Chain A
Amino acid sequence: MKTRPNHDATRVLMLGWEYPPRFVGGLGKASQGLAHGLADLGLDVVFVLPQFDSRRDGRRLRVIGAHNWNVHHHGSIIPRQAGGRHLLPLAARLSPYANPDPTTPGADLPVGDPRRIYGSELGREVRRFATQAGAIARCAQADVVHAHDWMTFPAAMAIAQREHLPWFVHVHSTEYDRAGSGANPDVAAIEQAACQQATGVFAVSDYTRRIIIERYGVPPERVRVIYNAPDGPIRAAASQPIDRREPWIVFVGRLTFQKGPDHFLRAAADVARWHPQARFILCGTGDMRGRLEQQSHELGIADRVEFRGFVAPRQIDKLLARSSLLVMPSVSEPFGLVALEALRAGTPIIVSRQSGVREVISHSLQADFWDTDKLADQMLAVLRLPTLACQLVDEGRSQLAMLSWHASALGIIEAYARAGIRVPDELGHIGAEATS
């Protein structure tokens, strides 16, 4: 197998942490969508993850798990013998979006000391990934490095410096989204350094772009918004007519501070007072689960609330297609892919005003995450007023149809071209525009 099937193709070395079917949130889906978008436009994409059963994902996209690839130095990447694999399952505590455990080794070191984060288990994983991805990079002959979220930024930075390559960081979420005022200063420092030093920064929304500019002091002209897109085609007709749906109101997301499940329950308690049939279904796991169950008891709605735990994506689609409403009351949501999934299923959405998806789906109900009165009123209105629900779905789906990974990839290629990276001939006009 040749490293480079097409020497004319621009090769993108993508570094990621999640990839379907191994993912816990929107990062994996978005990474895949973007990689496909670039590959479909003729770029050669080598996507490297810490752990993955390596495979081709289309003609121009190769996904590589760094752990089970043996790197030779004569220009090709060869998989180890099956017997030589040592797949380490990603422990839950290595989830990059969980709050770091303050008792991890290095917690007493000064902020910014790389040993702090690297002393933790997640930190070791990040460091190991940097080493392994670096080895792959040496023979990948990439033209550009494109890193998805902070766990891969140290690797991208190291590779770019050693190989003298332009590098881009793609911010799917920042530490301030994930942890609010409790942001881990080490993670924030990694994000800041990468955003400041990278050739360019991609943000999944203008909401996130502003955080990068304001919190990390990155010049505005270096941060470009690349919106996420729905997976796959949008069916012409919604699966189940709105007026035949169950009065179910669904929350999908990790049960963490960032996603606002507590606000969801507070609004639910208000809705339950007025709508005796309404049920509230939470899909997802997370550190707040116990507290939320307690909260639903205190609010007197325990019999109306279901905690479904982890639900497989296909099952989520099925659930959404039967439900009346998806609510995404995130405290800080860089994008919010689940809102697009709900619209694909023909389900109206309420999204927080602290989210990126509201920029592309203006035909949605929106409320500040803390305004549970307004959230409750919007929930009741959707249950009570079918005209509203239908219009939200029809108009929202029209806006959904305007989003595509293809369009997002074009935006990325334009940024590449502006940075002087050669792009496929058929996209040469993008480069020409960029340099004119």
Chain B
Amino acid sequence: MSLDVCFYFQVHQPWRLRRYRHADIGHHHDYFDERVNADILARVAHKCYLPMNALLRELIQTHWPHFRVSFSISATALQQMARFAPDVLSSFRALLATGGVELLSETSHHSLAALYSPREFAAQVQLHRQACQSLLGSPGFVFRNTELIVSNAVAAQVAALGCTGLCMEGADRLFDGPAVCTPHRFAAAPGLVALPRHYRLSDDIAFRFSDRHWNAWPLTAPRYAQWVRAQAEHLPAAAHGRGFLGLFMDYETFGEHQWADTGIFDFMCALPAALLGIDGLRFVTPSQVVPAVAANATLINVPEPLSWADLERDTSAWDGNPIQRDAMQAVFAMEPALRHHLRHHPGSASASLLEDWRRLLTSDHVYYMSTKHWADGDVHQYFSPFESPYDAYINYMNVLEDLRTRISGARVKPATKPGTRSGSTTPSRNA
């Protein structure tokens, strides 16, 4: 029995919006909060990216060539690193230079385009490839969609773009028990390999690591290695003796979600050696796995979108309530008018219009509008720069309104000035 262990870390930062008032509509087109974005990036760089990159580089070199990892880095994160923290980019370059790191493909703007606009989806995948190439290096042809959102329709789009593998959530409703430890293929696109995330072992690190009420706390590398060994010993028949263990998690787990004083860095430092002590275990990157997957691997059918978010593991974190659906519907509904505008107004102003629109497609904006468990104040709010999901929605819709005026060229004036009684129709309804 042997086991291929695949670490994939997600690196992403959204362009967070500033407080954008109704009165700004038609007058101010700076939507993003430079300072907040710079501050957050600086903080995460200090707590996570820089120390963890250094640790991984050391581990890859120490165990060379046996330890390797993969990353998916959104273009919005790359943009912010280039803008606010070039040392982080250098640090990623140094990590890639070890030869033990693979970059995955994704959408440039960490968007939900795969669900709403195949055309924009294809454009963003291409854009992401270009951003990686110019700043870090070429990504491979294994794809990771935003928040691991996968369905038959998404798989078909990904396959059509020439990708060979697709990371996905190893949800119980699709993967029966040990089946999560072997790659599958998509019924909707049999040429595409499905690489399932082992959510339990992934979340042991990403979520439970610092939980003092967890019966496995404090988690040690040898103990974790025992759990991994158990997976290797109970592989499904379909694995034909070679299992796959997908450990996919946010990179910010290390130092940001789990602070350094939880011991997360010490744990990761000890983990490669502990795992490499298991017979038949090797670390792999997705592109190593895909060619070896049998053409007649088990097919999976994903009629409804699946994601790695929340307990539901569906898309309800982004489209679970009416305001979220309204916001997504509204922003994607602008695409035809925007493309029409771009055709007739080539130039840098249009390019920045397009880039602003794309930054608004980033899934985080609509995630902040989630009201799931809003009464309990949950994880959604932990990440939100807004006081409430409703404020997030109002702010976002104000920005969209301004974007609409830029596309249509409409002029915005107050209906009445204070102290006067002249009136006209509201600007928002005109646009």
Residues of chain A whose beta carbon lies under 8 Å from any beta carbon of chain B = 269-270, 272-276, 299-301, 303, 362-363, 365-366, 373-374, 376-378, 380-381, 384-385, 387-388, 390-392, 395, 399
Contact = CB atoms under 8 A, between A and B. Distances in A.
A157 B254 CA distance: 58
B421 A390 contact: no
B423 A377 contact: no
A300 B420 contact: yes
14 contacts: A273-B415, A274-B414, A274-B426, A276-B415, A276-B423, A363-B374, A377-B394, A378-B390, A380-B22, A381-B394, A387-B323, A388-B393, A390-B322, A391-B323
A48 to B, nearest CB: 38
B397 interface: yes
Contacts of A374: 391
Contacts of A392: 390
B415 A274 contact: yes
B401 to A, nearest CB: 9
Interface in B241-274: none
Contacts of B375: 362-363, 399
B415 A377 contact: no
Shortest beta-carbon contacts, A-B, top 3: A300-B419, A276-B423, A387-B326
B173 interface: no
Contacts of B391: 365, 374, 378
Interface residues of B, number: 33
A270 B393 CA distance: 20
Contacts of A299: 418-419
A45 B169 CA distance: 59
A391 B424 contact: no
Contacts of A376: 22
A395 B371 contact: yes
B21 interface: yes
Nearest to A269: B418
A378 B390 CA distance: 9
Contact of A381 (B22, B371, B387, B418): B22
Contact of B418 (A273, A366, A373, A395): A273
A364 B424 CA distance: 30
Contacts of A270: 23
B416 A273 contact: yes
Given A274-B426, A366-B388, A385 B415 contact: no
A303 B422 CA distance: 12
Given A274-B427, A300-B420, 20 more contacts: A273-B23, A273-B414, A273-B418, A274-B426, A276-B423, A300-B417, A300-B419, A301-B418, A362-B375, A362-B388, A363-B371, A363-B374, A376-B22, A381-B397, A381-B398, A384-B426, A385-B326, A385-B397, A391-B321, A395-B371
Nearest to B377: A362
Contacts of A301: 418
B418 A274 contact: no
B133 interface: no
A374 B21 CA distance: 8
Contact of A391 (B322, B414, B426): B322
A388 B323 contact: yes
Contacts of A362: 374-375, 388
Contacts of B420: 300
Contacts of B390: 363, 365, 378, 388, 392
Nearest to A298: B419
B352 interface: no
A384 B388 contact: no
Contacts of A390: 322
A284 B375 CA distance: 32
Contacts of A275: 415, 426
B420 to A, nearest CB: 7
B425 interface: yes
Given A387-B322, A388-B393, A366 B387 contact: yes
A303 B22 contact: no
B408 interface: no
A380 B418 CA distance: 16
Interface in B12-45: 21-23
Contacts of B417: 273, 300
A419 to B, nearest CB: 30
A273 B371 CA distance: 31
Interface in B350-398: 371, 374-375, 387-388, 390-391, 393-394, 397-398
B428 interface: yes
Given A276-B425, A299-B418, A377 B322 contact: no
Contact of B424 (A276, A378, A387, A395): A276
B26 to A, nearest CB: 11
Contacts of B371: 363, 391, 395
Nearest to A382: B394
Contacts of B394: 365, 377-378, 381, 385, 388
Given A269-B418, A299-B418, A303-B421, A274 B23 contact: yes
A84 B419 CA distance: 59
A377 B416 contact: no
A218 B419 CA distance: 50
A377 B323 CA distance: 16
A300 B414 CA distance: 14
A20 B191 CA distance: 74
A352 B23 CA distance: 21
B419 A276 contact: no
Nearest to B393: A388
Contacts of A272: 415-416, 418
Contacts of B423: 276
A366 B388 CA distance: 8
Contacts of B424: 276
Contacts of B427: 274
A299 B22 CA distance: 19
